[in-house]
Amino acid sequence: MRKLAAGNWKMNGLDADLNGFASLPNGPSELLICPPATMISALRVRFPDHIQLGAQDCHAEVSGAYTGEISAHMLREAGASHVILGHSERRDAFDESDDDVAEKAEAAYDAGLIAIICVGESLSERDSGNTLDVIRTSLAASVPDAATPQTTIIAYEPVWAIGTGRTPTLEQIAEVHDFIHTTLQSRFGATFRILYGGSMKPGNAADICALPHVSGGLIGGASLSPDDFGAIAQALS
């Protein structure tokens, strides 16, 4: 299976910023861009089919009186194939719990979206030696029993590495990816794709993605530049 380069644009992206993305080649890595939800349907028309589109969140309900929210079915209809769930910025700023993430993942499955479920430790959790416990707890509660490798991708994103320019050592990344792989293998009897996210750049992508059980990257800041995102996609393979 090809490695996956998944870009999380967060609350960035206006029409003027799009030059260069549509011409990213269908190269050795799978490409996925998760723009603000308002852009998904327009980009589905403008981007070639090999650039998949995803959302950055969804609501757990299909429809209803939830002002400001967007359902997984709506995202699917707009042209999304994936949705990022449980990003640390949503867990921190919007108080999302593991249970919320699991409910949203089930909504994503119902709509035919692939859920990219994010897990990761804070700096204090790492410093106190609790990284694997945090990951274990978060995986147990935020990945639904219905998850399959076809419907679910895990993203390991140490919170302290997101947007900071700091990355864990290769040994630290390898340890956590191996742990996630083993944990899901024993729970589901299946191998899931596991992305690494946190200050991934063209210069470190190849080394990180050469580690066992690293299936690609979830890329924030560097995905806003078509040159950097394209270079990372090349390096992943």
Q: Which of 119, 180, 208, 218 binds ligand PEP (CB under 6 A)?
A: 218
Region near ligand PEP per CB under 6 A, out of 20-28, 140-148, 180-188, 192-200: 192-200
Token pair for 145: 């029993």
Comparison of 98 and 157: residue with beta carbon closer to ligand PEP: 157
Determine contact, residues 220/8, Cβ cutoff 8 Å.
yes
Q: Which of 199, 231, 233, 236 binds ligand PEP (CB under 6 A)?
A: 199
Determine contact, residues 53/34, Cβ cutoff 8 Å.
yes
Alpha-carbon torsion angle 18, 112, 119, 39, nearest 10 = 20
The DSSP secondary-structure symbol of 16 reads: G
Region near ligand PEP per CB under 6 A, out of 12-20, 37-45, 181-189, 196-204: 196-204
- Rule CB under 6 A: say whether 233 interacts with ligand PEP: no
CA 216 distance to own-chain centroid = 10
SS3 of 84, please? strand
Q: Residue 3 carries which side chain, given as an amino acid letter?
A: K
**Which residues, 137 to 176, sit near ligand PEP by CB under 6 A?**
157, 162-163
* Binding residues vs ligand PEP (CB under 6 A): 8, 157, 162-163, 197-200, 218-222
Q: Which residues are catalytic?
A: 87, 157
